[in-house]
């Protein structure tokens, strides 16, 4: 994986999106060496919050300039507040909030993509909006970086 990403970084490819398996292994192996932006998906549970903090710390150590959180499976204002509070304390801007969505859970049960089973689901809409922001380079500027 590291070799493929290094090759893509040195090519004319403008954007490469990689969905990494949950956990710290990719960071420990230096897979994100050439990453400019890392979206850390955070759920409103203690282990997920703690993992996000560790991931952000490791990514900063690797020099990833753009670190952001995506709040996922949010069921209430309390869930969102817990994620936002934790992330604020770890200098990790929350750039999207994806609600818990029964349509996503049903797609998982069926072993299908939610885009195929429920393309109009609220969670899909929120992810589309985030993708649009990424493509438009419409995220908060990382510390120490000047806008283009």
What span, in angstroms and rounded, lies between the C-alpha atoms of 141 and 122?
27
What span, in angstroms and rounded, lies between the C-alpha atoms of 95 and 130?
8
Per-residue pLDDT tens over the stretch 2-29: 555 555 555 555 566 665 666 666 666 6
The answer as to CATH 3.40.630.30 being correct for domain 2-100 is: no
Query: Domain map of the chain by residue range?
Result: 2-100, 101-138
Percent of the chain beyond pLDDT 90?
59
Structure pTM? Answer: 0.83
**The residue to which tokens 């969670």 are assigned:** 123
């Amino acid at each position: 994986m590291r070799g493929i990403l290094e090759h893509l970084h040195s090519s004319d490819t403008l954007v490469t999106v990689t969905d990494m398996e949950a956990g710290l292994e990719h960071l420990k192996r230096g897979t994100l060496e050439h990453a400019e932006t890392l979206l850390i998906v955070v759920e409103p549970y203690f282990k997920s919050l703690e993992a996000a903090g560790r991931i952000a710390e490791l990514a900063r150590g690797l020099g990833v300039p753009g670190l952001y959180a995506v709040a996922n499976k949010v069921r209430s204002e309390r869930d969102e507040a817990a994620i936002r509070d934790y992330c604020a304390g770890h200098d990790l801007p929350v750039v999207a909030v994806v609600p818990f969505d029964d349509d996503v859970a049903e797609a998982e049960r069926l072993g299908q993509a939610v885009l195929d089973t429920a393309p109009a689901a609220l969670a899909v809409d929120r992810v589309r909006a985030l993708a649009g922001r990424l493509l438009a380079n419409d995220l908060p500027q990382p510390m120490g970086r000047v806008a283009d």
